[in-house]
């Protein structure tokens, strides 16, 4: 299914008068509004290939319909999202879930939708059919050198796929850990992981990054070998320039000050990428911004401040991606909501009165400093984000158009009512 430009233009015409009234009201109060709009238009968030189908929990999965059945259909779905919001111009593949058969044809197909390939992901958390050795007790940290080598070889193979597709980064998330005290020697596990990552690092092309993701628990429940940002940072530092830390918002224990982690990693030049999502108690499954949008804003505030301080381009300096499991909502609607929440927080961070904040901080004026952040956060910037979409040729209200154009029922008609997409 393709959403042609006329459908989007008709939709926008209907909403234009209301939009303009809201936007003009807001814009009058934002001194650098054109610069903010340019940044919003440029800011894209990658979509992971595994978030396009309905996810599940270990208790069950309630299949949605019309889910993508192939890599081509996954690209089509991200193409639909990008047509609706012009904010997701890349897709992140997971090998071996997404083996590109004919690479040239896949690249061409993506191009037709205005997409390129974001970071490629390796998978050493599942055994593949006929795999010689098992990842049951881990991969890069394993006690058996043979298992470690298998996982190293897989990661190098993923880099090769990525090179063919024009990716520039490898994301490594390891399920390696332990569920019971005494199960593993933590020191050896960490050192094995370092040694294995070094072998992968040595195979990275010069202009690539490796993004090292951390997670405190799940699928193991006592220890994770790369369990927090300190462990990821330590590995990234030992490995060298091309190695950075990836922050997945859901991979923190409750109330962790993620904005402070982000500020320090950025300051050290070791923040490589982001996985956006939200959570109430733990993990990484809920729509970005659905539970704690103030936290998301504070994170973006540190990001904008830190990127500007280092002269790094907001849009291209880091790998921005969504990583959610959509169990209840239509995955495409969920992703549209997540992108909207990200852009709202980003816009709020962009309108913070930075000179005034710096002055208040220098004078230790706590009330003024906090008030400046609250003022930006409490500003309703939705019309600003919508204006950026309008200028980029996207829909003023992507979810409304998605519903009005009956996208899901068309997809069900094309692909069937009972579909299973690979992924979470």
Interacting residue ranges for ligand AOS, rule: CB under 6 A: 50, 121, 173, 213, 215, 248, 275, 284, 323, 424
Q: Which of 270, 275, 326, 408 binds Zn ion (CB under 5 A)?
A: 275
Q: Which CB atom, from 148 or from 252, has the smaller least distance to ligand AOS?
A: 252
To ligand AOS, the closest distance from the beta carbon of 55 in angstroms equals 10
76 binding partner (options Zn ion, ligand AOS, none; Cβ < 5 to 8 Å by kind): Zn ion
Look up tokens 């890349």; give the residue.
90
User: In angstroms, rounded to a whole number, what is the distance separating the alpha carbons of residues 233 and 79?
Assistant: 34
Distances (CA, A) of 82 to 40, 46, 307, 339: 14, 10, 25, 10
Q: In 132-239, which residue ranges form alpha helices assigned H by DSSP?
A: 145-165, 186-202, 229-239
To ligand AOS, the closest distance from the beta carbon of 325 in angstroms equals 8
330 binding partner (options Zn ion, ligand AOS, none; Cβ < 5 to 8 Å by kind): none
Q: Which of 118, 248, 278, 333 binds Zn ion (CB under 5 A)?
A: 248
Q: Which CB atom, from 39 or from 275, has the smaller least distance to Zn ion?
A: 275
176 binding partner (options ligand AOS, Zn ion, none; Cβ < 5 to 8 Å by kind): none
67 binds Zn ion (CB under 5 A): no
User: In angstroms, rounded to a whole number, what is the distance separating the alpha carbons of residues 366 and 374?
Assistant: 12
Q: Which CB atom, from 150 or from 386, has the smaller least distance to ligand AOS?
A: 150
E strands, 196-351, in order? 209-213, 223-224, 243-248, 271-276, 319-322
Contact 209, 172 (CB under 8 A): no
User: In angstroms, rounded to a whole number, what is the distance separating the alpha carbons of residues 291 and 119?
Assistant: 27
300 binding partner (options ligand AOS, Zn ion, none; Cβ < 5 to 8 Å by kind): none
Comparing every residue's Cβ against ligand AOS, the nearest one is 173
To ligand AOS, the closest distance from the beta carbon of 174 in angstroms equals 9
Neighbours of 348 (CB within 10 A): 27
Residue 236, classed as helix, strand or coil, is helix
Pick the piece of the chain touching Zn ion (CB under 5 A) from 117-125, 147-155, 197-205, 247-255.
247-255
User: In angstroms, rounded to a whole number, what is the distance separating the alpha carbons of residues 294 and 16?
Assistant: 29
User: In angstroms, rounded to a whole number, what is the distance separating the alpha carbons of residues 116 and 353?
Assistant: 35
Q: Which CB atom, from 173 or from 190, has the smaller least distance to ligand AOS?
A: 173
Q: Which CB atom, from 321 or from 352, has the smaller least distance to ligand AOS?
A: 321
Q: Which CB atom, from 40 or from 211, has the smaller least distance to Zn ion?
A: 211
To ligand AOS, the closest distance from the beta carbon of 250 in angstroms equals 7
Contact 44, 315 (CB under 8 A): yes
Pick the piece of the chain touching Zn ion (CB under 5 A) from 11-19, 52-60, 71-79, 405-413.
71-79
E strands, 214-301, in order? 223-224, 243-248, 271-276
Q: In 28-144, which residue ranges form alpha helices assigned H by DSSP?
A: 33-42, 71-85, 103-112
To Zn ion, the closest distance from the beta carbon of 4 in angstroms equals 13
Q: Which of 98, 118, 302, 323 binds Zn ion (CB under 5 A)?
A: 323
User: In angstroms, rounded to a whole number, what is the distance separating the alpha carbons of residues 350 and 307?
Assistant: 12
Q: Which CB atom, from 40 or from 200, has the smaller least distance to ligand AOS?
A: 200
To ligand AOS, the closest distance from the beta carbon of 46 in angstroms equals 12
Q: Which of 284, 324, 334, 340 binds Zn ion (CB under 5 A)?
A: 284
Contact 95, 122 (CB under 8 A): yes
Interacting residues toward Zn ion by CB under 5 A:
76, 248, 275, 284, 323
């Amino acid at each position: 299914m393709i959403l042609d430009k006329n459908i989007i233009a008709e939709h926008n015409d209907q909403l234009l008068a209301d939009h303009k009234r809201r936007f003009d009201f807001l814009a009058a109060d934002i001194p650098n509004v054109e610069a903010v709009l340019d940044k919003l238009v440029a800011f894209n968030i990658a979509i992971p290939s595994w978030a396009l189908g309905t996810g599940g929990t270990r208790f069950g999965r309630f299949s949605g319909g019309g889910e993508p059945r192939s890599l081509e259909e996954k690209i089509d779905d991200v193409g639909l999202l990008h047509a609706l919001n012009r904010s997701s111009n890349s897709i992140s593949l997971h090998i071996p879930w997404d083996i590109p058969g004919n690479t040239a044809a896949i690249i061409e197909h993506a191009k037709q939708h205005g997409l390129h390939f974001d970071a490629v992901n390796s998978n050493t958390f599942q055994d593949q059919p006929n795999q010689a050795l098992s990842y049951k007790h881990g991969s890069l940290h394993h006690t058996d050198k043979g298992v470690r080598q298998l996982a190293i070889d897989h990661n190098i193979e993923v880099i090769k796929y990525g090179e063919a597709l024009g990716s520039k980064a490898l994301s490594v998330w390891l399920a390696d850990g332990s569920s019971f005290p005494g199960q593993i020697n933590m020191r050896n596990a960490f050192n094995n992981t370092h040694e294995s990552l070094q072998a992968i690092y040595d195979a990275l092309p010069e202009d690539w990054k490796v993004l090292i993701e951390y997670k405190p628990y799940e699928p193991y429940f006592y220890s994770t070998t790369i369990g927090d940002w300190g462990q990821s940072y330590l590995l990234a530092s030992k490995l060298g320039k091309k190695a950075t830390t990836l922050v997945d918002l859901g991979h923190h224990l409750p109330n962790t000050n993620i904005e402070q982690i982000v500020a320090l990693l950025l300051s050290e030049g070791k923040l490589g990428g982001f996985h956006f999502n939200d959570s109430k108690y733990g993990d990484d499954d809920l729509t970005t911004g659905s539970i704690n949008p103030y936290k998301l804003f504070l994170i973006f505030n540190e990001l904008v401040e830190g990127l500007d301080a280092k002269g790094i381009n907001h849009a291209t300096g880091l790998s921005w991606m969504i990583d959610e499991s959509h169990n209840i909502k239509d995955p495409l609607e969920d992703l549209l909501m997540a992108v909207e929440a990200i852009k709202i927080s980003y816009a709020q961070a962009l309108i913070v009165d930075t000179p005034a904040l710096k002055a208040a901080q220098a004078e230790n004026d706590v009330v003024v400093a906090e008030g400046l952040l609250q003022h930006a956060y409490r500003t309703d910037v939705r019309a600003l984000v919508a204006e950026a979409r309008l200028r980029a040729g996207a829909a003023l209200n992507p979810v409304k158009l998605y519903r009005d154009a009956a996208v899901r029922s068309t997809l069900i008609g094309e692909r069937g009512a009972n579909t299973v997409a690979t992924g979470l």
